[in-house]
Chain A
Amino acid sequence: GESVGLHLPTLSVQEGDNSIINCAYSNSASDYFIWYKQESGKGPQFIIDIRSNMDKRQGQRVTVLLNKTVKHLSLQIAATQPGDSAVYFCAEKAAGNKLTFGGGTRVLVKP
């Protein structure tokens, strides 16, 4: 079977509750940040992005918060659903269009 997320930290959340996934990034020169969702057997899927000149951006049921002072990024998922069960990765982009990925967090939604 698929081994994505096998060794990653796991966040267990009750269906209907809010989820918060955290990410520490490394490069203070990064100016663009992305959250991806990776389901078993699939490639990473874009969720939401944020530029470094913003500290908050909202999408449908998701919010990304950026704290450049401490180089911290978070993804909030409102009213978590079973379909939200996946591995979530943050990624940062500095010069050269190269993405650097964080370690990932596995989200497990309990019914």
Chain B
Amino acid sequence: SAVISQKPSRDICQRGTSLTIQCQVDSQVTMMFWYRQQPGQSLTLIATANQGSEATYESGFVIDKFPISRPNLTFSTLTVSNLSPEDSSIYLCSVDGTVQETQYFGPGTRLLVL
């Protein structure tokens, strides 16, 4: 399985600011995924990030609010822009397994917006 790290692990931000979350994988992967997990809830896919192309966003998520970069095969960033308290969530990145079809997840970034 891939080893995935995320930075920061947690943050407290003021409304109206932005937070950029980094995701680093220890191997080259084609697809990286960003999820949101709101308090007490399940995971919802925000977007799929492929290297060299625009991210593909799910219904309800837009690039202006959640811009994503994918500069190479081991790294991606998710920015949560113009923060509001409703953005308080855990944000997780994941990658497809190279052998299995499963996805492996990073530890998550816990965001609290005041």
Q: Given A6-B40, A7-B40, is A46 in contact with B1 using a C-beta cutoff of 8 Å?
A: yes
**What A residues does B31 contact at CB under 8 A?**
97
Q: Could you tell me if B106 and A43 are in contact, using CB atoms closer than 8 angstroms?
A: yes
**Known contacts A42-B107, A43-B108, A44-B92; A101 and B42 CB within 8 A of each other:** yes
Report how far A2 CA is from B107 CA in the complex, Å.
Answer: 13
Residue B12 lies at the interface, judged by CB distance under 8 Å to chain A? no
Give B76-90 as 1s and 0s: 1 = Cβ < 8 Å from A's Cβ atoms: 000000000000001
Question: Which residues in window 66-111 of A have CB below 8 A to B?
Answer: 89, 91, 93, 97-104
Query: Which partner residue on chain A sits nearest B96 by CB separation?
Result: A97
Is B43 an interface residue, CB under 8 A from the partner?
yes
Docked complex Cα distance between A4 and B105 (Å): 15
Query: Which residue in A4, A36, A46 is a CB contact (below 8 Å) of B90?
Result: A4
| A44 and B105 contact, Cβ closer than 8 Å, known pairs A49-B100, A99-B45 | yes
Whole-angstrom distance between the Cβ of A110 and the nearest chain B Cβ: 21
Chain A: interface residue total (CB-CB under 8 A): 28
Decide: B102 and A46 in contact? CB cutoff 8 A: yes
Whether B108 lies near A3 (C-beta < 8 A) is no
Contacts of B15-70 to chain A: CB distance below 8 A: 31, 33, 37, 39-45, 48
Given contacts A4-B90, A97-B31, are A89 and B105 in contact (CB under 8 A)? no
Tell me the nearest residue of chain A to B105, going by C-beta: A43
Per-position contact with A for B1-20: 1 when CB-CB < 8 Å, else 0?
10010000000000000000
- Taking CB atoms, residues of chain A closer than 8 Å to B94 are 43, 99
For A93, give the chain B residue with the smallest CB separation. B101
A43-B108, A46-B1 known; A89 vs B42 contact (CB < 8 Å): yes
A8 contact from B33, B40, B92, B96, Cβ within 8 A: B40
CB-based contact B102/A7 at 8 Å: no
Contacts A4-B40, A4-B90, A89-B42 hold; do A32 and B108 have CB atoms under 8 A apart? no
A49–B101 CB distance below 8 A: yes
Query: What are the 6 closest A-B residue pairs judged by CB atoms, nearest first?
Result: A7-B40, A6-B40, A43-B105, A3-B39, A101-B43, A101-B42
